[in-house]
Amino acid sequence: MVKILIKNAHICDPATGMDCKGDIFLADGIIADIGSRLEYETEVTIDAAGLIAAPGLVDMHVHLRDPGQTEKEDIISGCKAAAAGGVTSVLAMPNTSPTTDNTETVRYILDKAKDADAHVYVSAAITKGLQSDMLCDLQALKEAGAVALSDDGRPVVDTAFMAQAMQTAPQLGMTVVSHCEDLYLAKGGIIHDGAAAKKLGVKGIPAAAEDCGTAREIALAAAYHVPIHICHVSTATSVALIRDAKRRGVAVTAETAPHYFALTEEAVLTRDADYRMNPPLRTEADRRAIIGGLKDGTLDAIATDHAPHTPRDKANFETAPNGVIGMETSLAAGITFLVKQGHCTLAQLIEKMSAKPAQLLGIPTGSLKKGSPADVILFDENEEWTVDVERLHGKSKNCVFKNKKLIGKVKFTVCGGKIVFNQLD
């Protein structure tokens, strides 16, 4: 762990309100000093003139596929992709094989992550095997090191189990993050139930499938006076439901993903399964509603739902599994489609990708204040680049922004005081 002095950066730290030119000194794995004209003896000094220095991003929705599906991704490769995208903390979802529904799997993930290029936090399952027929031992999962609970990949079908988890989690200091979907409405659908599905002649997933799930979780949070976090919001109605619930004082928070504010169902007309995910890409009206929800604070965070699959998995449009990767492009997508379009400031974007998700998970990251973990990124907010999937750092290439020009390039990432990505040399 080397001592690092970052000089002449434009520091953007929404957690402290700092938005000015300055220096950052990293030592012993923490932010040891931050200010102007700092002078220290160090092993590494970086002149960051022209670059933004920000807290490492916190991606609260990631599928690392480890254990069990490591041909798609593993903890080490996934964290390399994270580092290249400026992500220094990830929340790993539980739909692994075996499912992360037991203490052994939680400990396996945390142990393997000790050598990874990002901090890995674990979301354990709510029900055994994500099957909604038996509640997991939530306290044991917490004691093993999990910080969140979810059956992501599937909803918790049994409402009584969901209610129990939502009531237990706050007592354990855990966050429940919910995949909202009515499986009966969604059954057999592979893309949004709209114009593209009709044109392609395939069964669609109606927006109502997500909306009904969102409404249920909000009703539970309101009835039991407990918090809930809604994952990967994609519809205008879900945004409206969350907005109304917040106005009524319900403890609901929510995230969306870059593909929902950047793309629409038109992308699937190419019959390329790399544009298939669940929830699916929706309409232009939904995309605009997602942006509106980000602008007014209805949507608290931006996560990626990073879901790697091999090219072979994605070869057939109609039978391919859902999911797209996103950690290496999330910041650039936010800059390109939100900041440069005037929908938010750079500081507001960074807040939704660092400070806010850290706060929602109760983890000690997302800030550049003295004493915080030395998780820092440097990026050029104006550099244009074309996404070449062959140059990405994870194992899979199923990226919705492939071959697209984006603005904003990560140049340097420090995680826990360790240099994990360096494009400055």
Contact indicator for 331, 88 with CB cutoff of 8 Å: no
How many CB atoms neighbour CB 128 within 10 A? 16
CATH number at residue 125: 3.20.20.140
pLDDT at 366 over 90: yes
Q: Is residue 368 part of a domain?
A: no
Q: What is the pLDDT of residues 309-346, one digit of tens each?
A: 999 999 999 999 999 999 999 999 999 999 999 999 99
Verify that 148 and 16 share a domain, yes or no.
no
CATH number at residue 15: 2.30.40.10
User: Which pLDDT value is given to residue 15?
Assistant: 97
User: Which pLDDT value is given to residue 1?
Assistant: 76
Q: Is residue 366 part of a domain?
A: no
Q: What is the pLDDT of residues 119-173, one digit of tens each?
A: 999 999 999 999 999 999 999 999 999 999 999 999 999 999 999 999 999 999 9
In percent, the amount of the chain with pLDDT more than 70 equals: 100
User: Which pLDDT value is given to residue 79?
Assistant: 98
Catalytic residue list? 305
Instruction: Indicate the pLDDT class of residue 425, thresholds 50, 70 and 90.
Output: confident
Verify that 333 and 390 share a domain, yes or no.
no
DSSP state letter for 336:
I
Q: Is residue 404 part of a domain?
A: yes
Q: Is residue 337 part of a domain?
A: yes
Verify that 174 and 281 share a domain, yes or no.
yes
Q: What is the pLDDT of residues 7-22, one digit of tens each?
A: 999 999 999 999 999 9
Verify that 307 and 318 share a domain, yes or no.
yes
Verify that 89 and 46 share a domain, yes or no.
no
- DSSP, collapsed to helix, strand or coil, labels residue 312 as coil
CA neighbor of 57 nearest in space, from 401, 368, 398: 368
Contact indicator for 31, 374 with CB cutoff of 8 Å: yes
Among residues 361, 391, 410, which one ends one of the domains?
361
How many CB atoms neighbour CB 133 within 10 A? 10
> Which range marks the domain in which residue 26 is found?
4-53+373-422
Verify that 240 and 386 share a domain, yes or no.
no
**What does R_g of the chain's alpha carbons equal in angstroms?**
20
Instruction: Indicate the pLDDT class of residue 41, thresholds 50, 70 and 90.
Output: very high
Verify that 220 and 230 share a domain, yes or no.
yes
CA distance 380 to 320: 36
Instruction: Indicate the pLDDT class of residue 405, thresholds 50, 70 and 90.
Output: very high
User: Which pLDDT value is given to residue 125?
Assistant: 98
User: Which pLDDT value is given to residue 84?
Assistant: 98
User: Which pLDDT value is given to residue 53?
Assistant: 98
Among residues 333, 361, 389, which one ends one of the domains?
361
Q: Read off the pLDDT of each residue in 362-390 and give the average, rounded to a whole number.
A: 98
Among residues 318, 334, 361, which one ends one of the domains?
361
Q: Is residue 223 part of a domain?
A: yes
The structural domain count of the chain equals 2
- CA quadruple 286, 292, 298, 300: dihedral positive or negative? positive
Q: Is residue 11 part of a domain?
A: yes
Backbone angles phi, psi at 358, to 5 degrees: -60, -45
CA distance 256 to 276: 16
Verify that 194 and 311 share a domain, yes or no.
yes
Q: What is the pLDDT of residues 193-211, one digit of tens each?
A: 999 999 999 999 999 999 9
Verify that 40 and 64 share a domain, yes or no.
no
Q: Which ranges in 27-158 belong to alpha helices (H)? A: 75-84, 103-112, 138-144
Contact indicator for 213, 182 with CB cutoff of 8 Å: yes
Q: Is residue 238 part of a domain?
A: yes
3-state SS of 209-252 is HHHHHHHHHHHHHHHHCCCEEECCCCCHHHHHHHHHHHHCCCCE
Verify that 200 and 290 share a domain, yes or no.
yes
Q: What is the pLDDT of residues 63-117, one digit of tens each?
A: 999 999 999 999 999 999 999 999 999 999 999 999 999 999 999 999 999 999 9
Q: Is residue 106 part of a domain?
A: yes
- 103-127 burial string, b = 16+ CB within 10 Å, else e? bebbebbbebbeebbbbbbbbbbbb
Verify that 44 and 77 share a domain, yes or no.
no
Verify that 136 and 275 share a domain, yes or no.
yes
Is it true that the peptide bond before 373 is cis, omega within 30 degrees of 0? no
- Measuring CA to CA, how many Å separate 191 from each of 179, 256, 318? 17, 17, 9
CA distance 57 to 90: 9
Q: Read off the pLDDT of each residue in 388-412 and give the average, rounded to a whole number.
A: 98
Q: What is the pLDDT of residues 224-253, one digit of tens each?
A: 999 999 999 999 999 999 999 999 999 999
